[in-house]
Amino acid sequence: MIVTPLRVALLLCLASATLALAHEGATGVVKERMDLMETQKDAMKLIGDMAKGNTPFDAAKAAEAARDISLTAKKIPELFPEGSGGDKSEALPAVWEKWDRFTANADDLEGAADALSSALDGSANQDWKPAFQKVSDVCKSCHQDFRAKKKDHAKH
């Protein structure tokens, strides 16, 4: 397939429309945190595709994505001010009821992403995969405890 400026523009429009639909109606801090989580999801996908062999391994790109996860993890607590749940938010009340655990999870994510970045820096082998699994596990743990399931969210 030949990549033309028109095709690139079309793909960017489609990607923007998809993101807009995913966050339809979200505003303010809720939209900001949804966008942050989308950034983290994209970074995890990039690294995950390399881990699965779906895309060629590029240690520098993967390490950069891990650093992005670490940097965004630092911002998580400030994007969950009290009273910002409900409506379009996927955050469960447990975020604020168990605030110390929630913020500890964000700290764990930052630390795990830093460890992954270090494991990836200059790596040409697969020794980084356990560190990637740790990042994935931290994400899953937080989503399990603090994020509404898609079907539950539809009820809001």
Q: pLDDT, tens digit, for every residue of 120-152?
A: 986 666 789 999 999 999 999 999 999 998 654
Distances (CA, A) of 118 to 59, 96, 115: 10, 32, 5
Give the chain's domain count: 1
Q: What is the CATH number of the domain that holds 34?
A: 1.20.120.10
Which contacts (CB < 8 Å, 24+ apart) does range 148-154 have? 148/90, 148/91, 148/92, 153/90
- What's the confidence (pLDDT) of residue 86? 81
* CB distance 43 to 64 below 8 Å: no
Within a domain: 134: yes
pTM score, two decimals? 0.79
Within a domain: 3: no
Burial class (CB in 10 A: 0-12, 13-18, 19+), 44: buried
Tokens, residue 90: 């996927």
Within a domain: 2: no
Within a domain: 147: yes
pLDDT of 13 > 80? The answer is: no
Instruction: Give the SS3 label for residue 73.
Output: helix
Within a domain: 12: no
- What's the confidence (pLDDT) of residue 22? 45
Greatest mean pLDDT range, 22-36, 89-103, 110-124, 125-139: 89-103
Q: Could you list the residue range(s) of the whole structural domain that residue 122 is in?
A: 27-154
Of 153, 119, 148, 149, nearest in space to 133 by CA: 119
Within a domain: 18: no
Distances (CA, A) of 33 to 39, 57, 72, 91: 10, 29, 10, 10
Segment 106-110 shows an average pLDDT of 98
Within a domain: 21: no
Within a domain: 137: yes
pLDDT of 155 > 50? The answer is: no
CA–CA gap between residue 8 and residue 125 (Å, rounded): 33
